[in-house]
Amino acid sequence: MNDPALAGLPEAILLDEIIPARAEWDHTVHAGETLRIIDLEGNQAVDFLMYGLHDDTERYSAQDTIAAQKNIFLRTGTVLISSEGNPMAQISGTSVAYHDTIGGACSCESNTLRYGHHTKAQHACVENFLMSSARHGRGKRDIVSNINWFMNVPVEADGTLGIVDGISAPGLYVDLKARMDLVAVISNCPQINNPCNGFNPTPVRVVIAGYART
């Protein structure tokens, strides 16, 4: 294992893929396996959802995760909680100070509201989530509040939210260790109207590592 980007992962690399700029992706991650997401070029928001593999009515819950850890930011050690109150995964390591779970996912509708009608035809994260979800029989009502890996959404003392320049950089990563069998869904955010992707969406790398299954 000479690739420094794989340092610290379990021996068996079960998957190693590039998600192109603006693209969607989903994959099963079994309990005990680690999903590493690498921000290859820096400042690339990675919108993220998780569903239980065996019962997808159990899914990631931003509000339960925030309530459980009494903090709005996701950092090393954060346990990501499901809608049933169960641990779905834990952030076993990250080289970014914190990640967001309150900024939501961009959509054609929110783009037109924020940035004008000329953005109506621009591809957005909700469309990516719908494409991935359709493969599993899920629709728009199954899209819940998501995680934004590598996205910087500071909250000021008076509660004001911002979507500002990222604090990520080329090669930084986040590791998620699954605590249950789950399906991870990614929208590699296509947004070009605010700085969440540095106005230039770029590819990310995903690696799933664990112990060889027989």
Residues that bind Zn ion (CB under 5 A): 106, 125, 189, 191
Q: How far is the CB of 105 from Zn ion (least distance, A)?
A: 5
Cα distances (angstroms) measured from residue 91 to each of 55, 65, 137, 179, 186: 22, 12, 28, 11, 16
CB nearer to Zn ion: pick between 81 and 125: 125
Torsion of CA 155, 44, 179, 69, to 10 degrees: -10
Ramachandran bin of 114, using left for φ above 0, alpha for ψ from -120 to 50, beta for the remaining angles: alpha
CB nearer to Zn ion: pick between 78 and 191: 191
Write down the H helix ranges in the chain.
62-69, 108-115, 125-134
CB nearer to Zn ion: pick between 183 and 189: 189
**Tokens 């339960």 sit at which residue?**
64
Cα distances (angstroms) measured from residue 169 to each of 42, 81, 148, 191: 4, 27, 15, 18
CB nearer to Zn ion: pick between 64 and 127: 127
Does residue 186 sit in helix, strand or coil?
strand
Q: How far is the CB of 47 from Zn ion (least distance, A)?
A: 5
Q: How far is the CB of 5 from Zn ion (least distance, A)?
A: 24
Q: How far is the CB of 81 from Zn ion (least distance, A)?
A: 23
CB nearer to Zn ion: pick between 18 and 21: 21
Q: How far is the CB of 125 from Zn ion (least distance, A)?
A: 3
